[in-house]
A and B are shown apart, each in its own frame.
Chain A
Amino acid sequence: MADFFRFENIHYQLGSPGRHINVSASLAEGGVLLIKGPSGAGKTTLLRILARLQECDSGQVYFEGRNWFSMPAQLWRSRINYNSQKPAIFSGSVLDNLRKPFGLKIKKEEFNLTEAEKGLQALLLSQDILGQEARTLSGGEAARIALLRSILSNPDILLLDEPTASLDEKSGNAASDYLINWVRQKPGRGIVMVSHKQDLKELIGTKVLDIGFHPEEVN
């Protein structure tokens, strides 16, 4: 039975402690997989491996039944989008930043301004922010713009690294609602997320993967 998104025995090592990680999990359509674990447990590394930004020692990932290596890296990443914890902001206006993915060869769709404006509203940002120089955004604003940019780029799966870490409670909740809304709005979507917060945990369909420190895995 082919899962929507599944990774099997992803094996990798973490820098200096020489810690070995070996994880497997799967994600159903419309589902959220929450990755938990203490700082330095390798949560970010796992997301980067899933985005093929980093290589693991061994393991397989399947997306809609297809092995990850059967797809070119560019196509894989455009469908399974990784959003880093520290938001990547380009020089130019906020609008330029939101348009950025649509300037790439791989993107066939056009940028949709109406969608962008709806997203800003849902994330409690004013429409005026579009004209602002993006490098002058606050940390919380930049994080939400980066999140919105990822969603507008229309991936199938979002890999999110602490998307609400730099947000206050109110905008953090708005972001969570927006994400849940997004994942359920259409079939063929899913979220893999690293978060210390518990906010999404209670939601139906949220699975938790704990990659905390396991003594038996230390060499």
Chain B
Amino acid sequence: MDSGVIPISNFQLGLSVVLVLIAGLISAALKLELLKSLVWGTIRTFVQLTLIGYALTFIFTVNNLAFIIMIVTVMCLVASGTASKRTPNAGRYPLLLGFVSLWVSTFLVGTIVVVLIISPQPWYSARIVIPIFGMILGNSMNGIALSLDRLFSEVKSTILEIEALLSFGATPWEAVRDCVKEALRAGMTPTINSLMVVGLVSLPGMMTGQILGGADPQQAVRYQIVVMLMIAAAVAIGCLLLILISYKKLFTREDAISPNIFTVTNSKR
């Protein structure tokens, strides 16, 4: 039985450009005007991934705990930047809150997975930590963006009900509780759906990668289960944290709905 990675030589890597040429020909034939971005995308893929390959090799060799924490923190920063750009409804939302909730949920869940479940030697082995934390971040980034966006849009569309609740003496939390529920649901639904269909509709990328890398499918499946569950946990924690620390921003110091939630979006876009 074959095992281990079958290496791809430079020549074989070059052959993969043929695939882009096919896409390029279609684009040219149909005048899709995608050729330029296709070429640019191909170059970027080669450059970015080659660089990250070297970077990872370097990081794995150094394998210094402080260095790893720093890298994951930078990853969190980039992820929260992307998440806050994807929330048109949330307006001028401070990056900081997104960063805090991503960082806390990623480190909490990631550490449990790495230390307690996988337990490599040493426990902070970069070869394990970086991919695991990266997968958590990639998924919770989408989750928190969705839930934050939904929180603001729900509040806007149910402002009448929220103000009625406030008028009866509701606390801000009581007034937006239904919106929070909807926001959490929106953030977690993609993750829950993927738990439902995994293995039926698609084979997850990580598992496929391990199998191509020569791993035993049974082991790859075990890893995948851990990864799916950790993503679900991280998304739930990240969304909840973000909502808990940001719902107050919807209110004035008088605990009334802030007039800013209606103006921010327009002035920004």
By a beta-carbon cutoff of 8 Å, the part of chain A in contact with chain B is 51-55, 73-75, 77-79, 81-84, 86, 88-90, 100-101, 104-107, 146, 153
Cβ A105 vs Cβ B174 within 8 A: yes
Contacting A82 at CB < 8 Å: which of B167, B170, B255? B167
A75, B168: Cα distance in complex, Å: 9
B211 at the interface (CB under 8 A from A): no
The A contact surface, by secondary structure, is loop
Query: Cβ of A105: which chain B residues have Cβ within 8 Å of it?
Result: 171, 174
Q: List 19 A-B contacts (CB under 8 A).
A: A51-B167, A54-B259, A73-B256, A77-B168, A77-B169, A79-B169, A81-B168, A84-B160, A88-B160, A88-B161, A88-B163, A88-B164, A90-B161, A104-B165, A104-B168, A105-B174, A106-B168, A107-B168, A153-B168
Check: B136 CB closer than 8 A to any chain A CB.
no
Tell me if B27 is interfacial: C-beta within 8 Å of chain A. no
Q: Which of B221-264 contact A (CB under 8 A)?
A: 252, 254-257, 259
Query: B169 is contacted by which of A84, A89, A104 (Cβ under 8 Å)?
Result: A104
- Smallest CB–CB gap between A151 and chain B, Å? 12
B251 (CB) vs chain A CBs: closest residue: A73
Query: Known: A53-B256, A54-B256, A55-B254. Is A81-B167 also a contact (CB below 8 A)?
Result: yes
Question: Nearest chain B CB to A158's CB is how many angstroms away?
Answer: 10
Question: Contact partner of B256 among A52, A81, A89, A146, CB < 8 A?
Answer: A52
Q: Is the pair A100, B168 in contact by a Cβ cutoff of 8 Å? A: yes
Question: What's the minimum C-beta distance from A59 to chain B, rounded to whole angstroms?
Answer: 14
Would A55 and B168 be within 8 Å (CB), given that A86-B160, A88-B163 are in contact? no
Q: Which residues of B have CB within 8 Å of A55?
A: 252, 254, 256
Alpha-carbon gap, A101 to B164, bound state (A): 9
Q: A53-B167, A84-B160, A153-B168 are in contact. List 10 more A-B contacts (CB 8 A).
A: A52-B256, A53-B163, A55-B254, A73-B256, A77-B166, A77-B168, A78-B168, A84-B167, A86-B160, A106-B169
B168 and A53 within 8 A (CB): no
Contact of A100 among B163, B165, B166, B171 (CB under 8 A): B165
